[in-house]
Structure 1
Amino acid sequence: MSASKNLCEHTPSFSEEDCEIALFRAKWPDGFRCPRCGGFDFYRIVSRGRRLFECSSCSHQTSLTSGTILQGTRTPLVKWFHAMHLMHSGISAVLLAELIQVTYKTAWLINHKLRFAIQVHDEGRPLAGNLQLLGDFYARPVTNRPADPLEYREEPVVAGASIDAESGELAEVKIKRMSAKAFNRRTFEVDSFGSFLWRHTTEDRTGSRHIEIVKASGREGVSELGAVWRGAIGWLARTFGGIGPKHLQAYLDEYCFRVNVRAEGFNALLTLCSRTRTITQRELVRKRFGVHAIRWTGRTYLVKLSRSLCIS
């Protein structure tokens, strides 16, 4: 109760009009653009309670939520905006349902759609430049059962970060699940990170990239990348009691997103949601446990990503 009260006190108030204006600006930062003909002029119309935009050139009608992660939703924009703000704190579906007064099923779907928008964004931003890498294993002992396969009990994970050339600090971080075949050793050398480098970093065409393998902690204390990894583990344990393999990657991407964008989390998430096509609940809950490596090619196909990412 105290946690929900504290979150409520720090959540800004949104009106339906404020939400529509903010979504309009996020979706069309340079002004309205017809998705069919690219026209800039439009009429505002109301049809069956829906606010639509009709292109003056081709008469095509579109809505604010069309082509976004919110498409087809019956939940008011105000509740979506509250969910986006609360995700910056890393909130569970149980607590979100209580705070925005929706069912658990709706809260779960909202949270996972927001995470999906983050995942699509993450896939289009490979790490570049000099890197730090950390290998470890994520385990969920609280829910492990003797009958569970070994791959359920311990998940190989690589935390990677690009390094700022001037400050030497972490510029951007990623934490990715690896398959046991691609990462099955506890003696960590560069070869152990081949799958991560192949999938989540840009190609080193100059041959000048420096890669440093670090540990979570050593004689000098906890490393900077180790602190990020331990922060992710702690958040998953405190908030959810641990996460199973099915959706683990989505939660790890969410955590890294907050680390990377810092105070700009809400605005960044709103922008992602306005530019990411929605995903259905059926696609979110389908069972896929494998981790498939697809090499970064320098091109981003959001439609393909939106149908192939998740739930590995």
Structure 2
Amino acid sequence: MPAFQEEACENALFQAKWPDGFRCPHCEGSSFYRITSRSNRVFECRVCHHQTSLTVGTIMEGTRTPLEKWFSALYLMQQGISAKLLAEIIQVTYKTAWLMNHKLRHAIQVWDESRPLKGELQLYGDFYARPAMSGVFDPPDQRDQPAVVGASIDPESGGVAEVKIKRLPHGEFRRRSYDVECYGTFLWRHVTDVKSEIHSIEIVKQSDSEGVTEIGLIWRGVIGWLARTFGGIGPKHLQAYLDEFCYRINAGTNAFATLLNLCGITRTVTLRALVNKRRAVRSVRWTGQSNIRKKNVS
């Protein structure tokens, strides 16, 4: 892991927050003073004298953790580590590490929601089951979670161009049904406007006689990662972890730089909002027109 220096981190966050140069949030002025008698992260507009912090309006707003530790967390997010391991590496409490990881996941989720899938699609539905604890009865909301892997397919290579993995409502998805209606919530929420573009949707089934497709490997990959790294994830925060996994695929080699830019433009989320996060997924009926194919693969 690279050694991050506080001053270099401040300069990088400044560039992420104001890529076109400083802009006063009050008057849009571009000239500023750095307040040297206080924190180096405070700036004063030369025009209206409004003072603003470097972290205000970013995912790091209100933090007391040094930016160098935030940047270490950004870097380690590329490896998908647990909060426990992150806390040991950057020397913070588990609670702080957990909150940092989830704030970064929040920035990823905001980015994910702004990028709907388009063009030719492949869909693969299955159930995620958190490893059962021996001798402990799981309550109803801990049962298997239906989810769908959706991918935009590159028309030239035939490979996955972008991928999303999203939870589905229990009442909507059926284990042995592969009709497009089972994917209605996913299509309505995460696919671009069908009125402007007709999609070819290929529904991928499980079959022992065929090979493993790319989206099948992605599904196996996320299950293995959640089991190895966290011992499984409950339904409350499952979606955030699924989005994190997909982010690393979609962002590729630009994962660190992209996440840094997202941190600079995404407003923070509070611990209370994360703790009180609802886990229900609403069903939405799919009414779009599509060319639908089914393929028996695993």
TM-score above 0.5? yes
Matched, 1:39 2:63: no
CA distance in 1, matches of 2:282, 2:91: 37
- The corresponding residue for 1:245 is 235
| 1:105-254 equivalences in 2 (<5 Å) | 105-143=95-133, 147-206=137-196, 208-215=198-205, 218-254=208-244
Look up the equivalent residue of 1:53 and give its one-letter code.
Answer: F
CA distance in 2, matches of 1:23, 1:154: 40
- The corresponding residue for 1:8 is none
| Secondary structure of the structure 1 residue equivalent to 2:145 | strand
CA distance in 1, matches of 2:277, 2:69: 28
- The corresponding residue for 1:261 is 251
Look up the equivalent residue of 2:8 and give its one-letter code.
Answer: D
Matched, 1:49 2:30: no
Matched, 1:84 2:74: yes
CA distance in 2, matches of 1:193, 1:155: 14
Displacement of 1:207 after TM fit?
A: 5.9
Structure 1: give runs of 5+ residues left out of the alignment: 1-10, 296-312
| Secondary structure of the structure 1 residue equivalent to 2:36 | strand
Change (3 A) 1:219 1:17: same
Aligned match for 1:291, one of 281, 286, 296:
281
CA distance in 1, matches of 2:275, 2:208: 40
| Secondary structure of the structure 2 residue equivalent to 1:195 | helix
Q: Give CA deviations for 1:184-211 in whole Å, capped at 9, x if unaligned.
A: 3422221211111011111212563100
Give percent identity, aligned residues only. 64
Q: Give CA deviations for 1:44-82 in whole Å, capped at 9, x if unaligned.
A: 113543531111111111111010010000000000000
Change (3 A) 1:75 1:24: same
Look up the equivalent residue of 1:183 and give its one-letter code.
Answer: F
Change (3 A) 1:232 1:57: same
Task: Specify which structure has the bigger relative contact order, considering alpha-carbon pairs within 8 angstroms and separated by 6 or more residues.
Answer: 2
Displacement of 1:229 after TM fit?
A: 0.9
Look up the equivalent residue of 1:23 and give its one-letter code.
Answer: L
Matched, 1:70 2:89: no
Q: Which moved more, 1:29-38 or 1:285-294?
A: 285-294
| Secondary structure of the structure 1 residue equivalent to 2:166 | strand
- The corresponding residue for 1:24 is 14
Contact kept? 1:216, 1:222, Cα under 8 Å: no
Contact kept? 1:131, 1:162, Cα under 8 Å: yes
User: Aligned residues, how many?
Assistant: 285
